[in-house]
Chains A and B, each alone.
Chain A
């Protein structure tokens, strides 16, 4: 999902600090932007960046598939609770009943807001791989510590990011093992059957990933991790003109979109 994906592209070659700053700016801006058109522009821009970075677009489709349940949940909750004037489905409990009156009412505004919140989540999820998949984890750690974060903390962050692909590997192995024993609930089962089967998938995945993480911790400890207050890096990173140009253009464009949202 966000495992480093090797390619020689502009985005891969950017200083990781530029990517982190732009990631932070876009993440903040999508919560400030209330105009769906502007949000749509950001999403289209992200798809273009994915293309520029040669990242497989099918990954984005996978995220969408995985998050579909969450999106449906968000849309239903917002449709029921957001309120609004355009009532699509009348409330189950009449409005005049005290305290619970109006429950079950679904509004168009609620559905649209649910879609909007889902779009924000999708943008966030599509944004992270643009940093994670284009930056080697050791450079990411170096960038974070160069931004003033203690190197131990920067490794905690990058190792946590690194754990996501580990979870994926574990998940795939467990699913294969289940399939080998003719367990086909996830392919052919009904929703309730799938819900019941999830613990058998998630529990070994978490235990396996924790075991691997613990071994990784032992390996890091054994190589003097945390021995000194400061550490050196065999390869350094340095901001070049290209990085400054992308940083300035990216920052202006993101802030500009927020400004347009409020003046438009």
Chain B
């Protein structure tokens, strides 16, 4: 028992259909996420990533309605038996569109919004706001309007707004899809820090394979609402048929390896990191040199 890790999220044979929809958006998903784990959810558009993210804090089905089967348990609470507001203290959510989730006129108010709703004392709220802004590296900007921030900063602010309620789980729904590479790195570095320093469980839906192989412990692959696989990134990206079926992009170095393989230039390994590719290419070139 002692060797077993604690599951903070357990999705149990869960199917969900949006109101007025004719087909299920999620189909018999079963997935367990351990405390402190960094889980990536990948899949093409319409695969069910956003839907799955929204089941984790109860937005689905509590706010969206619709029909469901099975259950989602977060920190011991069955999501459809509680309220979104209650779950908000366990699961912080960051949405894809930075504009729609920021609705106050000051950064400080944006971060304080959650704790204010929980009716916390003002000194405690101030303390949490200060901490959350410090974590996302926006300290000193309290009085500025969110509209004055860059895309990456806005997403970091959205993370701070979720963090202020000190959730155990942070769910990020394609948080970098509208960001440039710099903004993407800013956000992912903050997320990684949260996981390392605070042992926070991270669930991130994304299309960006390069970044995800660096950070994720496991990757869940969705296609048409079904969970096709859930495993270590290396094992996932080694399954070429799976990746092609789910319409996911390989990391660029893996794509290069596949191209080389088509040209009969076998690397002897399937790299997913740039460093691995460098090493493999070095070996290939050295080997090639010897042959000649």
Contact = CB atoms under 8 A, between A and B. Distances in A.
Interface stretch (B17-25, B84-92, B183-191): B84-92
Contacts of A217: 63
Interface in B4-22: none
Interface string B113-135: 11111111110011001000000
Contacts of A251: none
B106 A219 contact: no
B88 A227 contact: yes
Given A218-B95, A222-B162, A231 B100 contact: no
Contact of A223 (B63, B106, B129, B162): B162
Contacts of B114: 223-224
A138 B104 contact: yes
Nearest to A227: B85
Contact of B109 (A216, A221, A234): A234
A220 interface: yes
B165 interface: yes
B108 A219 contact: no
Interface residues of A, number: 28
A6 B99 CA distance: 19
Contact of A212 (B100, B115, B126, B165): B100
A34 B260 CA distance: 86
Interface centre among B57, B103, B162 (most CB of A within 10 A): B103
Given A222-B93, A224-B88, A216 B116 contact: no
B117 A219 contact: no
Nearest to B119: A228
B9 to A, nearest CB: 16
Contact of A137 (B54, B104, B165): B104
B119 A230 contact: yes
Contacts of B101: 215-216, 219
A230 B117 CA distance: 8
A104 interface: no
A225 B117 CA distance: 5
Contacts of B57: 222
Contacts of A218: 54, 59, 63, 95
Interface in A191-238: 212, 215-228, 230-235
B95 A138 contact: no
Given A218-B59, A222-B162, A223-B113, A138 B105 contact: yes
Contact of B88 (A159, A216, A222, A233): A222
Interface residues of B, number: 42
A219 B97 CA distance: 10
A136 B105 contact: yes
A64 interface: no
Interface string B29-54: 00000000000000000000000001
A159 B103 contact: yes
Contact of A232 (B54, B116, B129, B165): B116
A138 B146 CA distance: 13
A4 interface: yes
Interface centre among A219, A220, A228 (most CB of B within 10 A): A219
A222 B84 contact: yes
B105 A4 contact: yes
B219 interface: no
The list of the 7 closest CB pairs from A to B, nearest first, reads: A227-B85, A215-B100, A219-B101, A223-B114, A136-B105, A224-B88, A234-B112
Interface of A: 4, 6, 136-138, 159, 162, 212, 215-228, 230-235
Given A221-B59, A232-B120, A235-B109, 20 more contacts: A137-B104, A216-B101, A216-B103, A218-B59, A218-B63, A219-B101, A221-B84, A221-B85, A221-B88, A222-B162, A223-B88, A227-B119, A228-B85, A231-B117, A231-B118, A232-B119, A233-B116, A234-B108, A234-B109, A234-B112
Interface of B: 54, 57, 59, 63, 83-86, 88-89, 92-93, 95, 97, 99-106, 108-109, 112-122, 125-126, 129, 145, 161-162, 165
21 contacts: A136-B104, A136-B106, A137-B105, A138-B106, A215-B100, A216-B100, A216-B101, A218-B59, A219-B101, A221-B85, A222-B95, A222-B162, A223-B165, A227-B85, A230-B119, A232-B121, A234-B108, A234-B116, A234-B122, A234-B129, A235-B108
